[in-house]
Amino acid sequence: MSQLRHVGEKRTAALTSLGIESVFDLLTIYPRRFIDRTKRVDLSDLTVGEEAAVFGEVRKVSSRRTKQGKVMVEVTVSDDGGSIKVVFFNQAWRERQLAAGVQALFFAKVTEYMGQRQMTNPVVDVIVGPSGEERDVSRIGRVVPIYPASGKAGLTSWEIGGFIDESLRRAGPLLDPLPKSVRDELGLVERTQSYWGIHLPNEIEDVAPARRRLAFDEFLRLQLLLALRRRRLEESSAGIRHPFALDDLDVEPGSLSSPSSSLVRRFLAGHRFALTGAQRRVLEEIARDMTSALPMHRLLQGDVGSGKTIVALTALLAAIDGGRQGALLAPTEVLAEQHLASLRSDLQGLTKSDPSVLGGERPLSIQLLTGRVKSRERQLVLDGLRNGSVDVVVGTHALLTDDVRFKALGAIVIDEQHRFGVEQRAALRAKGRGDDGSGRDPDLLVMTATPIPRTAAMVVFGDLDMTVITELPPGRIAVDTHWARAPLDGEVAWARVRQEVASGHRAFVVCPLVEGSERVQATSVTEEAQRLAAAELTGLRIGVLHGQMRTADKETVMADFRAGRLDVLVATTVIEVGVDVPEATVMVIEDADRFGIAQLHQLRGRVGRGSDRSWCYLLSESDSPEADIRLSALERSTDGFELADVDLELRGEGTILGARQKGRSDLKLARLTSDRNLVTQAREAAEHIVGADPALADHPLLADELRIFIDDDEAAFLFKS
């Protein structure tokens, strides 16, 4: 870096503090926006109430103290078309920065004050300094890129642009790591053109193709890493060939099956319903994975209520059929407990042969391991896993600790909810190998609770193969969803609850999320239940359910609700997953704007599970634009994939990528929402490249670029041939 002309020790330090250590880092600081100098910004065109970026020259600057004692700097900015007043509070230094003659970009909402248009505390990018001469505007052509200036590091947009400019000019033509064939096929511009186009565009039209290429490169690097990782795992893996006969999937429910047939067959034969076509297709794929010598790494997506549970169970049973064990990992204790209960009831009556017991058969053993399972109980489960007397363990992070060891772990199901990272999946998978590494790699199935958009899945779960359950079980009627915006609308919701209960159905009331501990939340649920009992829902039998209750109490309440001894269940979001009561036909969600789209959709999935018409009321008087988008989307659509798109659009990729992206994030320009096609194209290109050149030996430039994003250990792992 210090080889650049204006970069001495001080600026090197400033750049380092921004995480910029190489020319590559520098070139990947991208402009926030561009000022097209060919189009004169007309200050007289500003609309009050809207955000705007205006470019103009400082005509006058003054400062004074307000009555409250704050320093107020007032600046008059003009262009040929008009002028605007810009004021700053508590930023005395602006008076020096914005001397008359300075040309700068001001970005803020335009307001009106005493009949004059004004900006208050805008973002400022100085483009041409007071003396003008060192800021040679001609150098940057007619389109000025504006970089995210850093006040902390003391670097202006202008300086950053200058470094980038110099680096590009000195570097000359850049080597392009992307094979020409791929570029041509996808219509991508060359590397050199892309960096020039985004940093030194001649005209604004240069920017878009440059951006597209650079965004593609970001996705490509990510997908290459994923493809290489998949490849290495495959090469180094010792998978298990589980017994899994496809014709077991075609058994009719209620048909007889001999005690000697597989657990999968006995389970499906004894189940309440037949598989849907989509479930069968998915299981066929899983069976193919599980019978192959390569371990399965599969993501199972399906909308709320699409029936992922039976798919997961069947996979676990196939592992037990092969004499191995299964593990189900859930993100929270409450969910783990719910999974345990439903597994136990679904697998009731199934036995496996065990020569060590009298009669040679014993019931399947399904056990819980969470932070709440302590001392002797915990030791029993640990022993059972080691000696093979426990067939399935359901648990939370507690499953990942070192003292959890299996006799023969065969299959893992992870109920995702976006909460487990790649490392945690790897940690659990490693348990199949045992202490001496001589074991086998278990098969892995990851399930998302609500769908995430396909392109986002390719990024977040890019190391997994993907399967989607595309159809809901037969007879589902879409839940009638209403956003109750006014208090009177709420009345309609409570009336519906009373009416449905009168006709023999049941209702959920979901309490608002409250800040604070689970205990606070529990109190608020209890109080709301009491309030409802005294007001809107007088005379109904009301139960409460929250995470603080003891397991036995929760089970009692759920059993009462299921059996119809309770009419209404007032609950926290603990009912979000797993609760399955077909007679429940109404859900009222209080303060619905506090919940995210995915969570609302998941909650709503608790009704509409039977063949009766169902309703969901979203109570919220919020008038925030975001609440409007979310709640209207739920009113409009019951399709989880569609809602996932809205959610992504709304929240941006940050939340989806979030904590998963360890280390340096490479997605600076690329957007999961607007660059969907690029994700798919990058994935295909990556697979193609790694397929032909498994350790990137023939693509050294690509390999070098990837090294920037990984540590040495990982590089050694990924590039070994």
**Ranges within 279-298 binding ligand ADP (CB under 6 A):** 279
Q: Which stretches of 322-472 are DSSP H helices? A: 333-346, 375-387, 422-430, 454-460
473 contact, one of Mg ion, ligand ADP, none, CB 5-8 Å limit per kind: ligand ADP
Structure tokens at 32: 């926030």
- Binding span for ligand ADP by CB under 6 A among 260-268, 308-316, 542-550, 699-707: 308-316
Binding mask 533-572 for ligand ADP (x = CB under 6 A): ----------------------------------------
d(CA 409, CA 452): 29
Comparing CB distances to ligand ADP, the nearer of 271 and 482 is 271
Size of the site for ligand ADP (CB under 6 A): 16
Q: How far is the CB of 338 from ligand ADP (least distance, A)?
A: 10
Q: Which stretch binds ligand ADP (CB under 6 A): 17-25, 180-188, 272-280, 586-594?
A: 272-280
Q: Among 161, 302, 439, 547, indicate the residue that binds ligand ADP (CB under 6 A).
A: 302
Residue that has been written with the tokens 């004692």 in this structure: 69
Q: Does 309 bind ligand ADP (CB under 6 A)?
A: yes
Gyration radius (Cα) of the chain, Å: 31
Q: Is 276 a residue that touches ligand ADP (CB under 6 A)?
A: yes
Report the residue closest to ligand ADP, judged by CB: 307
274's tokens: 């037949």
Is 314 near ligand ADP (CB under 6 A)? no
- By beta-carbon proximity to Mg ion, the closer residue of 343 and 507 is 343
**Token reading at 595:** 């919940």
- For the chain, count helices (H), then strands (E): 24, 24
Q: What are phi and psi of 520, to 5 degrees?
A: -60, -45
155 within 8 A of 15, measured Cβ to Cβ: yes
Q: In sequence order, what E strands does 308-408 have?
A: 325-329, 351-353, 361-363, 366-369, 392-395
Q: Give the residue, chosen from 308, 397, 419, 683, that forms a contact with ligand ADP under the rule CB under 6 A.
A: 308
Are 425 and 644 within 8 A, CB to CB? no
Of 24, 93, 113, 273, the residue at the interface with ligand ADP (CB under 6 A) is 273
Round to whole Å and give the CA distance between 223 and 221. 6
Name the residue nearer to ligand ADP (CB basis): 219 or 420: 420
Minimum Å distance from CB 653 to ligand ADP? 25
* Smaller CB separation from Mg ion, 28 or 309: 309
Question: What does each C-alpha distance from 51 to 109, 125, 172 come to in angstroms?
Answer: 4, 16, 38
CA distance 203 to 207: 8
Task: Pick the piece of the chain touching ligand ADP (CB under 6 A) from 31-39, 251-259, 270-278, 505-513.
Answer: 270-278
In the complex, minimum distance from the CB of residue 450 to ligand ADP, in angstroms, rounded to a whole number: 9
> Looking at 41-49, 195-203, 205-213, 309-317, which segment touches Mg ion (CB under 5 A)?
309-317
Least separation, in Å, of the C-beta of 274 and ligand ADP? 6
Exactly one of 310, 544, 586, 587 binds ligand ADP (CB under 6 A); which one? 310
Q: Which of 118, 306, 396, 572 binds ligand ADP (CB under 6 A)?
A: 306
Residue 599 interacting with ligand ADP (CB under 6 A): no
Asked whether the beta carbons of 254 and 267 are under 8 A apart, the reply is no
Span interacting with ligand ADP, options 301-309, 509-517, 555-563, 666-674, rule CB under 6 A: 301-309
Whichever of 19 and 474 has its CB closer to ligand ADP, that residue is 474
Question: Roughly what angle, to the nearest 10 degrees, separates helices 625-636 and 640-651?
Answer: 170
CA distance 23 to 171: 10
453 binds, among ligand ADP, Mg ion, none (CB under 5 to 8 A by kind): none
| Sheet strands (E) in 6-110 | 33-36, 51-65, 71-79, 82-89, 103-109
Which residues are paired to 507 by β-bridges? Answer: 568, 586
Q: Which residues bind Mg ion (CB under 5 A)?
A: 309
